[in-house]
């Protein structure tokens, strides 16, 4: 059996949908189907029931029994892979984009420089998917802007930031103040990543038609061209505003009535953590020192 086939089968089991599986794994639907067929051919029995027009897939009795076998096989394969890395300790991390650029990326660069024997596996993905990876024990640490209650997941808030408004400006003048009533909702570049539900209540409070914005986008860095081309504005924490200002000239505004603060959570699966516990202790200690240093500078 091949790892990719087992991995694909387990993702199908999780999503119950071939289309969703292909999207999550960044594969074509035909590739997903071919991997499943290859696995079924090797096993000699059918795992899924296929019916035209049926959106959600159904497992055969064999498929249901094979789930536990597949999970054990996958875990054993990953443990064997880790054993091959005799000269390297593997640190598996997933972060949403804003958390990566603001905190995780800068810290891990320093961490790898201090620990040349450590190997890093980094994934940048949606906050909700990071919880899925932690549940499946596919990462050691996750960093997400979403507060979610999941079984066996430990969640710790590591960063809180108030929300500001930014807009393109050729000659910015430091941080100014602005009232929500001064903002044109039709010029908002709505950032839809990170699951910031607190933004929704703020929009509902201040705008008669909170859906009158012209552009929504799930990547803060991808919002830059729209801010510049359309004279738009967007909501973001100050650290992200400073990061984006490295690429384009931005005016930052402090809101007189801002949405509730943005939070970043570090998440882990309870009872598992790193295969190499000493590496986990070192990582958490140095990361906390890094966070404390940021707070002192602010």
What ranges do the domains of the chain cover? 3-83, 87-160+263-297, 163-260
Q: Token pair of 24, please?
A: 């999550």
pLDDT of residue 87: 47
Identify the H or E element spanning 223: none
Mean pLDDT of 124-144: 89
The fold of 163-260 is D-Maltodextrin-Binding Protein; domain 2 (3.40.190)
- Residue 276 CA, chain-centre distance (Å), reads 24
Does domain 3-83 fall under CATH 1.25.40.20? My reply is no
Q: Are 77 and 106 in contact (CB under 8 A)?
A: no
Q: Any idea which architecture 87-160+263-297 has in CATH?
A: 3-Layer(aba) Sandwich (3.40)
User: Rounded CA gap, 37 and 30, in Å?
Assistant: 10
Mean pLDDT of 287-292: 93
Q: ∠ CA 102-120-150 to the nearest 5 degrees?
A: 70
Q: Quick check: helix, strand or coil at residue 191?
A: strand
Same fold yes or no, 3-83 and 87-160+263-297:
no
Q: Token pair of 67, please?
A: 């789930």
* Higher-pLDDT residue of 271, 145: 145
User: Rounded CA gap, 101 and 82, in Å?
Assistant: 28
Q: Are 47 and 18 in contact (CB under 8 A)?
A: no
- Between 27-36, 75-84, 220-229, 279-288, the lowest mean confidence (pLDDT) is in 75-84
Mean pLDDT of 177-199: 83
**Other beta carbons less than 10 A from residue 144's beta carbon:** 27
pLDDT of residue 273: 56
User: Rounded CA gap, 87 and 182, in Å?
Assistant: 58
Edge-first strand listing for the sheet containing 163-168: 175-178, 250-255, 163-168, 233-237
pTM above 0.75? no
* Higher-pLDDT residue of 224, 286: 286
Report the phi/psi class of residue 44: left, alpha or beta, with left for phi > 0 and alpha for psi in -120 to 50. Answer: left
């Amino acid at each position: 059996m091949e790892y990719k086939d087992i991995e694909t089968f387990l993702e199908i089991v999780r999503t119950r949908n071939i289309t969703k599986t292909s999207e999550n794994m960044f594969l074509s639907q035909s590739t997903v189907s071919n991997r499943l067929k290859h696995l079924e051919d090797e096993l000699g029995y059918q795992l899924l029931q296929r019916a035209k027009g049926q959106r959600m897939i159904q497992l055969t009795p064999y498929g249901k029994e094979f789930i536990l076998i597949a999970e054990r096989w996958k875990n054993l394969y990953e443990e064997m892979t880790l054993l091959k890395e005799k000269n390297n300790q593997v640190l598996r991390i997933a972060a949403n984009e804003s958390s990566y650029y603001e905190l995780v990326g800068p810290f891990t660069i320093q961490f790898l420089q201090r620990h040349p024997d450590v190997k890093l596996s980094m994934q940048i993905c949606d906050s909700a998917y990071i919880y899925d990876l932690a549940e499946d024990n596919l990462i050691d640490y996750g960093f997400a802007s979403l507060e979610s209650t999941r079984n066996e997941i430990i969640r710790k808030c590591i960063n809180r930031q108030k929300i500001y408004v930014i807009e393109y400006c050729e000659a910015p003048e430091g941080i100014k103040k602005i009232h929500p009533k001064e903002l044109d909702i039709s010029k908002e570049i709505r950032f839809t990543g990170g699951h910031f539900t607190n933004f929704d209540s703020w929009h509902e409070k201040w705008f008669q038609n909170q859906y009158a914005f012209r552009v929504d986008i799930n990547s803060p860095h991808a919002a830059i061209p729209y801010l510049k081309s359309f004279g738009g504005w967007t909501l973001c924490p100050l650290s992200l505003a400073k990061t984006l200002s490295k690429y384009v000239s931005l005016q930052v505004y402090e809101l007189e009535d801002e949405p509730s603060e943005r939070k970043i959570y570090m998440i882990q699966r309870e009872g598992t953590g790193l295969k190499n516990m000493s590496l986990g202790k070192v990582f958490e200690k140095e990361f906390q020192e890094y966070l404390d240093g940021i707070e002192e500078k602010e």
